[in-house]
Amino acid sequence: MEKKPIILSIFLLILFFIFPSAVAAEMVAGHSATITYNITQKDEVSTYFRKKLVIKRVLEKYDSPMVDAIDDFMEACKKNNLDCYLLPSIAGIESTFGRFIYEGSYNPFGWGRGLIIFKNWGQAIDIVGQGLRENYINKGADTVEKIGVIYCEGNSWAGKVKYFMNRFEAEEDKLDLFLGQNQVKL
């Protein structure tokens, strides 16, 4: 008598695995698959230090003599309300981040056709940042493309500056991943 329930149980298990029941499934994942990332916790201080570190890392990759002038870049972008990657990107295209300039000129921007002499990197960064704000942006040249038409006679300058700006932004993305920014919330 006791064998019948055991045999019946085994038989039902075999049937269960051989003939599985139909399951309803959606072709598109619903809200259960939604992921979000955190971009609201970036306050001014962390953004400042993150951008500062990004500039340092990119300048180091290019073996730039300007690596000690990062605070000057940050001060100029804050003082003149500039994208913090604009000035270093211009230096990237004009002089490979200060590596190829007239000796002793401290002019990595090609400012004044590269003939203007500055006493140090900080002075160059400050004057060019102020010049971009007053002579370009405040007069309507508020994009890299519009600045490029005035800053450089060639038509490829803006694209090259944007290339370097994208390099800085890509480095910032790497840093955000490393520092745990933009984490996936499950």
Q: Are residues 85 and 30 in the same domain?
A: no
Q: Are residues 84 and 146 in the same domain?
A: yes
Beta strands, E only, the chain? 36-37, 184-185
Q: Are residues 111 and 28 in the same domain?
A: no
d(C-alpha 164, C-alpha 108), whole Å: 14
Q: Are residues 64 and 137 in the same domain?
A: yes
d(C-alpha 47, C-alpha 11), whole Å: 65
Q: Are residues 28 and 51 in the same domain?
A: no
d(C-alpha 98, C-alpha 121), whole Å: 9
The residues that bridge with 184 in the sheet, in sequence order, are 37
Domain of 30 in residue numbering reads as 3-36
Question: Using the 8-state DSSP alphabet, how is residue 69 labeled?
Answer: G
Q: Are residues 125 and 101 in the same domain?
A: yes
For each of the chain's 186 residues, which pLDDT tens digit applies? 566 777 767 766 565 566 555 544 444 444 333 333 344 444 677 888 999 999 999 999 999 999 999 999 999 999 999 999 999 999 999 999 999 999 999 999 999 988 999 999 999 999 999 999 999 999 999 999 999 999 987 789 999 999 999 999 999 999 888 877 555 555
Q: Is the pTM of this model over 0.75?
A: no
Decide if 101 contacts 154 (C-beta within 8 A). no
